[in-house]
């Protein structure tokens, strides 16, 4: 097996985005040989076992570069670590065969109760509503090639599967349930998405005992109508929740507006045994405080924080644009993905655009941005 271009994900995971496109992973751009397949015209297991996917897996084992995987290749060519060589390699063992499969399908829709300032609008209904009502121009497109989300532009719209198609996909999952090892629900905010609970309910109890469930969640809710995350824990082999939180206190409340911080923290306490960790997405507004964020959640809740998620697009919100980067590169030398981003060139025009965007968003929210993030003012001078 040629490991230099091998990635575990095409052997282990079926992924679709909120535009119903199948991709090799969430970082991959579309591969031309599989772009004809989407969740609307092809069932997930038919796509995964297609001749085209089989050829991609074969090419990987022969050490060939795969079109669509440029994000990882370019990082590696620059001597940096990539998801392929870090978290993807750690998650799965290498294999030449398709075995137990992870499902990571955004077929439930993008309903969300938060408008995180860096979130792609295609992934959040609240985000789209806020941008539309505020009149903020969110149609800029990023020229950076190293962009996850296949270069999503901020004016992309979600393309959901119909109710009939959703039912057909669920049937396809149930028909192949013995091949499924893990199901990861993402959104939107999965806990408040009705279709997520439809899938949970339709998986037979005897099969559920062999399946691990995970959420990427803002954990603002633990209950939805007559459902509870604690019921999932009891039905399935395991449940783990990776919590998205990019700061604490009033800075969290701005970044993940309009989160109820008090309720959020109470939910951390109530669901502590189900939480695998906190994923902090590193951006312009929290790059100064990563140690403080880590210590806050560790000391108060005994929950670990990781900093593997980085805002790359739009690059105007990237931490690469801060001043005195050498200081931060030394400070965060153990956070490899953060160092990758900080190592890029600063762009004065981008930092101005990013701060102007934050100020316009704050004006719409009727919040004093400078009171919460006074240190950011120095970045545009």
For the segment 252-272, what is each residue's pLDDT rounded down to a tens digit?
999 999 999 999 999 999 999
DSSP string, 17-47: -TTSBEESSTTPPPPTTTTT-BTTTS-HHHH
Task: Give the per-residue pLDDT at 379.
Answer: 80
Nearest Cα neighbor of 304 from 286, 334, 337, 279 is 279
Q: Indicate the Cα dihedral angle 296, 110, 125, 154, nearest 10°.
A: 90
Residue 236, pLDDT score: 97
What pLDDT, on a 0 to 100 scale, did the predictor assign at position 313? 83
- Inter-residue contact 324 to 375 (CB < 8 Å): no
pLDDT band per the 50, 70, 90 thresholds, residue 18:
confident
Q: Would the pLDDT of 199 be above 90?
A: yes
Higher-confidence residue of 195 and 19: namely 195
Break the chain into its structural domains and give their ranges: 9-99
Q: What is the pLDDT of residues 220-241, one digit of tens each?
A: 999 999 999 999 999 999 999 9
Cα–Cα distances in angstroms (integers) from residue 201 to residues 36, 83, 190, 231, 367, in the given order: 31, 33, 14, 10, 41
pTM for this model (two decimals): 0.89
pLDDT 10s digits, 362-377: 999 999 999 999 999 8
Query: Order of strands across the sheet with 275-279?
Result: 22-23, 13-16, 101-105, 180-185, 212-217, 238-244, 275-279, 305-306
264, 245 in Cβ contact below 8 A?
Answer: yes
- On the question of pLDDT at 151 being above 50, the answer is no
Specify the pairing of strand 275-279 against strand 22-23. Answer: unpaired
Give the length of the chain: 381
pLDDT at residue 64, as a whole number: 92
Q: Is the pLDDT of residue 94 over 70?
A: no
Beta bridge partners of 23: 15
User: What pLDDT score was predicted for residue 139?
Assistant: 58
H-helix segments, 62-178: 70-77, 87-91, 125-134, 163-175
User: Given pLDDT bands bounded at 50, 70 and 90, which one contains residue 159?
Assistant: confident
Residue-wise DSSP of 77-96: HTT---GGGTHHHHHS---S
- pLDDT category, 93, cuts 50, 70, 90? low
């Amino acid at each position: 097996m040629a490991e230099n271009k091998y990635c575990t994900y095409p052997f282990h995971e079926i992924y679709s985005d909120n535009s119903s496109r199948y991709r090799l992973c969430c970082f991959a751009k579309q591969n031309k040989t599989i772009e004809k397949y989407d969740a609307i015209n092809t069932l997930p297991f038919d796509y995964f076992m297609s001749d085209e996917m089989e050829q991609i897996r074969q090419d990987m084992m022969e050490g060939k570069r795969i079109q669509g995987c440029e994000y990882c290749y370019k990082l590696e060519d620059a001597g940096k670590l990539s998801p392929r060589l870090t978290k993807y390699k750690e998650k799965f063992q290498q294999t030449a065969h398709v075995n137990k499969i992870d499902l990571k399908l955004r077929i439930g829709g993008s309903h969300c109760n938060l408008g995180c300032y860096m979130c792609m609008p295609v992934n959040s209904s609240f985000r789209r509503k806020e941008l539309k009502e505020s009149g903020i121009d969110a149609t800029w497109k990023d020229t950076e090639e190293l962009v996850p989300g296949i270069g999503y532009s901020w004016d992309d719209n979600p393309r959901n599967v119909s109710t009939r198609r959703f039912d057909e996909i669920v049937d396809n999952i149930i028909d192949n349930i013995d091949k499924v090892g893990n199901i990861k629900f993402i959104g939107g905010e999965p806990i408040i998405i009705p279709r997520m609970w439809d899938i949970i309910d339709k998986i037979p109890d005897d099969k559920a005992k062999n399946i691990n469930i995970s959420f990427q969640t803002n954990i603002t809710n633990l209950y939805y109508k007559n459902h509870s995350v604690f019921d999932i824990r009891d039905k399935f082999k395991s449940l783990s929740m990776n919590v998205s939180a990019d700061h604490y206190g009033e800075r969290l409340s701005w970044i993940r507006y309009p989160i109820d911080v008090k309720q959020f923290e109470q939910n951390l306490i109530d669901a502590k045994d189900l939480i695998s960790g906190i994923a902090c997405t590193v951006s312009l507004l929290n790059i100064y405080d990563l140690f403080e964020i880590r210590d806050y959640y560790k000391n108060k809740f005994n929950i670990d924080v990781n900093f593997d998620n980085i805002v790359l697009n739009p690059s105007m919100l990237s931490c690469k644009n801060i001043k005195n980067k050498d200081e931060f590169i030394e400070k965060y030398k153990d956070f490899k993905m953060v160092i990758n981003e900080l190592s890029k060139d600063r762009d004065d025009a981008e930092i101005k655009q990013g701060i102007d965007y934050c100020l316009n968003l704050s004006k719409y929210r009727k919040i004093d941005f400078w009171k919460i993030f006074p240190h950011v003012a120095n970045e545009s001078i």
